[in-house]
Structure 1
């Protein structure tokens, strides 16, 4: 993938379906060679993204 950066904006990364999908999308983008950024105020899953 050519130098692509994707920003996902999620208010909080607490446990839930859309929050888990945010993490999975970020991981898939990274595996594909893109840069994945997640902007969030925090939450239970926020440490998993760092």
Structure 2
């Protein structure tokens, strides 16, 4: 989850550099959708999003 959110965080920042507002909005919406799906997948298997993997 941490890697996923780091990736979407950077994508959102890079989206601000797009000259086309529509493309920027598509990237941000895509990140939001990806995060939502990841939450749903993890919760469906009973793993709360606040859980962490420890080694």
Q: Same fold (TM over 0.5)?
A: no
Q: Of the two structures, which has the highest relative contact order with CA contacts closer than 8 Å and spacing of 6 or more?
A: 1
More helix per residue: 1 or 2?
2
Q: TM-score, normalised by structure 2?
A: 0.39
Q: TM-score, normalised by structure 1?
A: 0.42
